[in-house]
Amino acid sequence: MAVKTGNYTYLLENTPSVLSFGSVGSKKESEGPLGQYFDVINPDSSFGESTWEKAESKMVQISVGQALSKGNFEAEQIDMAFAGDLLNQCIGSVYGLRDLGIPFVGLYGACSTMAESLALAALFVDTSIAKKALAVTSSHFCSAERQFRFPLEYGGQRPPTAQWTVTGSGACVVGESDAAPFVRAVTIGCIEDLGIKDANNMGAAMAPAAAKTISRYLADTRTRPEDYDMILTGDLGQVGSALLEQLLEQEKIHLQGRHQDCGLLIYDRQQQDVHAGGSGCGCAASVLCSFILPKIRQGTLKDVLFVATGALMSPTSSMQGESIPGVAHLVHLSSSRRRKGVE
């Protein structure tokens, strides 16, 4: 049973395991530093489909299929799927999962969805509501541009603060096991809004939420950044990462070089024209499932705070002049089980 510690954090007494995981990306992802780690790379970003939205659903099918097959699971063995994406009514997830017959909980946390879905899956397994739960999310550069910015045909110029939406998906199956990675704790983030209105500066909009969630987790667990091998944010990019460190410095929290960002890991900013880095639900999901979870399983990384960040905007709210609220959820992933009652 999960036990609340402090004001925002839950320790998972049974420390569920991430049993299996799958990742998929496309051409630009394959050309980045992590290209070799993806389970599936399709250089055709349409994935053989007639629309970008259908291509995104195809990626969900592929990543879920990889996670199930690598764990030797059938869809019937999954008690619940927690999934969402950036598209209206989360259609990437809906159409990607509709043929599997898995009980579905649709989520919208924007780019925080991988941490949100993983946290919920772990909580449901830890409390024995589910024996096995699926966490999955996705994004596609072309479908995201069409929905949130401009159609590609418009040829709009991107400022230096803009980020490149990852065309990718990641999926995890969570259950009980003696094998790492283990989920030891989760922190559910609050909505934070410092008034950023620029839809081409997502990093600045999300950094305050990441800073608050990290600060609250460390206070709740009485731990320090140096207790962890890595503090991994989802897609703050270059601008948001710098702001995160500044905000935490104001609280006298020094990341000691332990901070990494999925949006800075997935692409080579010097060689690939991605401006401030990668973004999108698929950014955190694909980096986690292709690169980070295998390293935790191997023991190369022992303790990682995975903090996916989301900008909770819509095209309508942006056009009406609203600011961009942010949220960040945190999952503590470890190569070892927590002793009962001890974080």
Taking all residues of the chain, what is their mean pLDDT, rounded to a whole number? Answer: 94
What per-residue confidence (pLDDT) applies to 63? 98
pTM of the predicted structure, to 2 decimals: 0.95
pLDDT digits (tens, 9 = 90+) for 10-29: 999 999 999 999 999 999 99
56 exposure class (CB count in 10 Å sphere: 0-12, 13-18, 19+): buried
pLDDT confidence band for 146 (50 / 70 / 90): confident
pLDDT confidence band for 341 (50 / 70 / 90): very low
Q: Does residue 316 surpass a pLDDT of 70?
A: yes
Instruction: Quickly count: other Cβ atoms within 10 Å of residue 195's Cβ.
Output: 9
pLDDT digits (tens, 9 = 90+) for 61-118: 999 999 999 999 999 999 999 999 999 999 999 999 999 999 999 999 999 999 999 9
What per-residue confidence (pLDDT) applies to 149? 66
- The radius of gyration of the chain from alpha carbons, rounded to an integer in Å, stands at 18
pLDDT digits (tens, 9 = 90+) for 168-180: 999 999 999 999 9
Q: Which CATH number covers residue 299? A: 3.40.47.40
Q: Show the domain range for 263.
A: 1-343
Phi-psi region of 275 (alpha: psi -120 to 50; beta: other; left: phi over 0): left
From 160-174, 215-229, 238-252, the region with the lowest mean pLDDT: 160-174
What per-residue confidence (pLDDT) applies to 158? 72
Tokens of 123: 């909580």
Average pLDDT over residues 254-272: 94
Instruction: Quickly count: other Cβ atoms within 10 Å of residue 307's Cβ.
Output: 30
Q: Which helix (H) or strand (E) holds 82?
A: strand 80-84
pLDDT digits (tens, 9 = 90+) for 179-193: 999 999 999 999 999
Total tally of structural domains belonging to the chain:
1
What per-residue confidence (pLDDT) applies to 342? 45
Q: Please, what is the end-to-end C-alpha distance for the chain in angstroms?
A: 14
Q: Does residue 156 surpass a pLDDT of 80?
A: no
Q: Does residue 245 surpass a pLDDT of 90?
A: yes
The angle formed by the CA atoms of residues 194, 200 and 206, to the nearest 5 degrees, is 35
